[in-house]
Amino acid sequence: PLDVSIFAPLKRVLASETDIGSRLDSGRIQRVEWTKMYIRIRKKALTSSNIVSG
């Protein structure tokens, strides 16, 4: 299922990155920064091997 093979890794990496980002800054991440982070993370998490395994 896609929710396990694709979106679970995306969610895990995104949560980790937002935790790191909120600790380094004032606790809040601006929408623009979150979007840049999501684009970078999406390239890591949405790999062809994850898509094929789903």
Domain-by-domain residue ranges, the chain? 2-53
pLDDT for position 21: 73
The predicted-structure confidence for 3-22, as pLDDT tens digits, reads as follows 787 888 889 988 988 888 77
pTM (predicted TM-score): 0.66
Q: Is the pLDDT of residue 39 over 90?
A: yes
pLDDT for position 32: 92
Cα(14)–Cα(36) distance, rounded to whole angstroms?
A: 11
pLDDT for position 43: 86
For residues 28 and 43, the model is more confident at 43
